[in-house]
Structure 1
Amino acid sequence: MNAQTKIVPGAPSAEARIARYDWGALAAELDGQGCAVLDALLTPEECRDIAALYPEEAHFRSHVVMARHGFGRGEYRYFRYPLPKLLGGLRAALYPRLAIVANDWNQRMGIGQRYPETHAAFIEQCHAAGQTRPTPLLLQYGPGDYNCLHQDLYGELAFPLQVAILLSEPGRDFTGGEFVLTEQRPRMQSRAEVVPLRQGDAVAFAVHNRPVQGTKGSYRVNLRHGVSRLRSGRRHTLGIIFHDAT
C-alpha cells in the first residue's frame, strides 16, 4: 500500500481543514483546560486507511511494545520520513496555529524559547540540535491495553503542544480506552480531564507545562497524558508530535 495515496479524491487539503476551525475559541480552550477538541478532522474512510498502515513495516522506523519498557500495555510504531502525504500536510498546517499559542505560553511562563512561523523552519532547528528522527506515530491497543501517564519530549528542543487523532469508533470498534490528561498544580492534588472523542476527532493538548493565571501572575503547571484500559475491541490512534527526536 502506497502511503502517498492516503488522501481521498476530492477531500479538502490539510490547510483547508485546519482553516475551518475557530482558532480563537480553541486557543481559549487550551488556555483554560490544557486541551481542545477539533471535531471531525478526518473522515471515517481516512481513519480506516491510516489505521490499515499499521502492519506495513515499510512505513515505519521503529516498533515499540509498551510492556517491555514499563509504558503500559499496547504498542506503537514511529513513522519514517517521508511521512504519508496527509500526515505531513496536517503536521505542517496545524503547527502555525499552535505556535501562536506556544509562543504566548512561553512568554507568560518566562521561557525564552520562541517558535518560528513555519514547521519547516522549526524542523531545521531540531535537526541542527541533533534531533533528526521523525516522531509522528501510530498506536494500537487491544483488550486490557492502556498507556501510562507520560510526556513526549524526546530531546532538549520540544514543542509544547501535540495532537492525537482517534482513528477508531468508540462503542463500535472498542470500549473503554478514554484519552486522559492530568494536571499537577503546585501544592494541590492532581486534576484529571477525560476527553470524549469520536472517530476522526483530534485533541490538541499540552505536552509538558502550561501557564495558569494566579494572584501574582502566571505560574507553570505540569501535565501528563495517557489512555485508560481498553475493555474490548481494538483502538488505533494517530499521534502528531511536532519536534523530532534524538
Structure 2
Amino acid sequence: MNDVAEVSIADRVKAIDWPRVEDDLDQFGCAVIERLLAPSECDALIDQYPRDALYRSRVVMERHGFGRGEYKYFGYPLPDLIEGLRTAVYPHLAPVANRWNDIMKIDARYPARHADFIERCHRAGQTRPTPLILQYHAGDYNCLHQDLYGEHVFPIQLAILLSEPGRDFTGGEFVMTEQRPHMQSRAEVVPLKQGDAVVFAVHHRPMQGTRGAYRVNLRHGVSRLRSGHRHTLGVIFHDAQ
C-alpha cells in the first residue's frame, strides 16, 4: 500500500466513501475521514506555523473571549496542499449543501466548482482567505462557535488534526453541540487521530420531524487540553470580508 503522501490530494479525495460521509452528515451533522493527510504532511504544516510570512493575521483567542490558544489565517496564495483540499473537497459537499438549503427553504445555492463560489465571495467584498491553523497548549480550549464571515457562507467545513493524541497532547477533543427547537442541546465528541479530518455543519442543518423538516443549530469547539500541544488545520470554503 502506498504511503498517503505519495497519493495526490485529488486522488485521495476521490477515493473517499462520499455516500457514507453524506449519510453521517445527515444523521449527526459531522463525518470523520480517516488518514486524509500523512504524518509527514501534518508535521510539515506544524513546522510552518512560526513562518509569519505565510499568514495574513494572528488571533490570540483570550483577547476576544473565544477561549485560550491562538490561530493564524493563511494569506493568498494558499499553500498547494490547502488549495488542493479546498478545490477537491468542495464539489462533493456542494450537492449536500444545496439539498439541505432546499429542505430548509433557504434560497442560497452553491455552484459546482469552488473557484466559481470564491468568485461570488470576492464580488461581494469577501476577499480574505479563511483557511487557518490553530495552536493550543495545556489549559487552552476553543469556545463553542460558528465560523460565519459574511453574506456568502458555505454551510459545511473541514478540520484536520495535525497532532497525535496521546503522544503530543491529552484532552483537547473536538466537540459539537446541536440545539433542536424546544429541546435540550445534544453534544457530539469526535475522536480523531493525526491526519484524520472531520467534515461538519457550520451553522445549521435540516432534521426530519413528525411534522416535517426543521432546522437545528450547531456549534463546534475544542475541550480543554490536559497536557502537551495540539495543532489543527481548518479548511473553510468561503472567504471573509
**TM superposition score normalised by structure 2:** 0.98
| 1:83 to 2:81 alignment | no
1:62 match:
57
Deviation at 1:80, TM superposition (A): 0.1
Quote the residue 1:38 is aligned against: 33
SS of equivalent residue, structure 1 residue 27: helix
Over residues 1-43 of structure 1, what are the superposed CA-to-partner deviations in whole Å (9 max), with x where a residue is unaligned? xxxxxxx997222110101111111100000000000000000
Deviations 1:181-204 (A, max 9, x none): 000000000000000000000000
| 2:128 corresponds to | 133
- Alpha-carbon distance between aligned partners in 1 of 2:84 and 2:13, rounded to the nearest angstrom: 10
Counterpart of 1:51 (choices 46, 50, 69) is 46
Structure 2 counterparts to residues 98-177 of structure 1, below 5 A:
98-177=93-172
Residue identity matched to 2:113? T
Do structure 1's residue 13 and structure 2's residue 3 form an aligned pair? no
Question: Amino acid of the residue matched to residue 93 of structure 1?
Answer: A
4+ residue segments displaced more than 3 Å: none
Give the whole-Å Cα distance in 1 for the aligned partners of 2:145 and 2:71.
15
> RMSD of aligned C-alpha atoms?
1.1
Q: Counterpart of 1:5?
A: none
Q: What's 1:3 paired with?
A: none
Q: Is the 8 A contact 2:5 2:37 kept in 1?
A: no
% identical aligned pairs: 69
User: Please, which runs of 5 or more residues in structure 1 have no aligned partner?
Assistant: 1-7
Query: Residues of 2 paired with 1:125 and 1:180: CA distance?
Result: 31
- After superposition, the C-alpha distances for 1:194-217 in whole angstroms (9 at most, x for unaligned) are 000000000000000100001121
Task: State the match for 1:29 in structure 2.
Answer: 24
Deviations 1:87-106 (A, max 9, x none): 10011100000101101100
Secondary structure class of the residue paired with 1:125: helix
Distance 1:51 1:90 in 2: 17
Distance 1:9 1:212, change over 3 A: closer
- Between the aligned partners of 2:4 and 2:139, the Cα distance in structure 1 is 37
Query: Are residues 1:232 and 2:227 paired?
Result: yes
Q: Counterpart of 1:99 in 2: which secondary structure? A: helix
What's 1:179 paired with? 174
